[in-house]
Amino acid sequence: MSTPVDVPAAAAALRDSTAEARAGGTDVMARLSEGLAAAPFTDLHRVRELRGVEWRADGSARIGAMTTVAEIAADARLRSAYPALTATAGALATPQIRSVATVGGNLLQRNRCPYFRSAAFDCLQKGGDSCPARTGDHLHGTAVDLGAACVAPHPSSLAAALLAYGAEVQVEGTEPRPVGELYDGSDSGRDHVLEAGALVTGVALPVPAAGESAAYRRATSRSRAEWPLVEAVVRVVRTGGAVTEAAVAAGAVARTPLRLPDVEQALLGASGPEAAAAAVAPVPDLCSPLPQTGYKAVLLRDTVRDALERALEPLEA
C-alpha cells in the first residue's frame, strides 16, 4: 500500500504499480467486499492539494478531485455560481456517504448492475462474453442504446451535472478533456475510458452564467436514499425573462450521462414553466428501451419536465 502526499508522488505511485487509486473508498471498498477489487491500493487521503475549490481570475471554479460531495453541496459560492451542481451533489446518496465520497471517485465509480456486483455471474464488465442482465433481469437497465451490449446505466449523478455545465476533467499528465469524453457509451467492458494508473486531479468549470436557474430531479420509489430510476439536471439562463441558454442532462438511462440537445433547443425563448411540457415531448422518441425498461422513456420525459418546471419558475425580482 502506498500513501503519497502530493500529486507527482501519487501519479508516480499509480503509474508504477497496479494498485487502484482509493479516494473516499465508498465504491472501492464495496467492490473489495464483492471480490471486484483487490488490495493494495494507492490511498489519496494524504494528498491535500487535491482537496478544495479554487476560484480563478475569470470567476470560474476548479474543484479538486478529492473534494467531498458534501463539501460541494454545502459550498455557498459554488451554489451561487453552479446551482445545478450543488443541487445534484446534495441529492445523491446519503449524508454519511456524501461526507466521504469525492467528486473524482464519483466520476470513476463502477456501475450498479446486480449481475456485475454479484460473484455468482460473469459479465462483459468482468471479462465475460455476454450480458446476463440483457437476457435476465434489467428493470433498472438502460433505455437509450448507445451501442454497448452491456445494459448497466452509468451511476454518476455528478457526471450528469458536470455534463450540463460542459465542465472539463483534469487528468494528471494529459490535456483537460470534456467530462463527456470520460465515457464511451459503446464500451461494454468499462465504465470510463481512463487507463489504469491515471490520476484525476480535478474538474474545471466554465465561467458562471449570470441569471442561471437550475434544478435536479430524480425519480425513485422511496423518498430518499435510492439510486435513481432516471435523473435529470437542467440549467436555464434567462435574459429579460426569456431563455437564452439551456442545458439538459439525463442520467441512469444510458451507458453514459446524456445531454438532450433537442430539448435544449426547444427551450430557447421560453419564459415560464408552461413551456416545459412541449419541450420534453420528443424525449420518448430518443429512447430505445429494453423489454423491461419501457417505463423509463416516459419517466425520463416527465422527470425532465418536472425539473424544467422548477427551473423555469419566474425569477424573483
Residue 221 in contact with another protein, rule: CB under 8 A? yes
Residue 75 in contact with another protein, rule: CB under 8 A? no
Site string for another protein, 137-176 (x = CB under 8 A): x-x-------------------------------------
Residue 306 in contact with another protein, rule: CB under 8 A? yes
Interface with another protein (CB under 8 A), residue from 76, 127, 224, 317? 224
Stretch that binds another protein, among 10-18, 24-32, 53-61, 202-210 (CB under 8 A): 24-32
Stretch that binds another protein, among 53-61, 136-144, 178-186, 187-195 (CB under 8 A): 136-144
Residue 109 in contact with another protein, rule: CB under 8 A? no
On whether the CB atoms of residues 266 and 195 are closer than 8 A, the answer is no
Size of the site for another protein (CB under 8 A): 54
Residue 30 in contact with another protein, rule: CB under 8 A? yes
- The Cα 100–Cα 10 span in angstroms is 19
Cβ of residue 131: shortest distance to another protein, in angstroms?
12
Residue 110 in contact with another protein, rule: CB under 8 A? no
Stretch that binds another protein, among 43-51, 180-188, 199-207, 247-255 (CB under 8 A): 43-51
Cβ partners under 8 Å of residue 299, min gap 6: 219, 229, 230
Residue 227 in contact with another protein, rule: CB under 8 A? yes
Applying CB under 8 A, which residues contact another protein?
A: 1, 3, 22, 24-26, 28-30, 32-33, 39-41, 43, 45-46, 70, 93-97, 99-100, 112, 114-115, 117-118, 120-121, 132, 135-137, 139, 219-227, 229, 295, 298-299, 302-303, 305-306
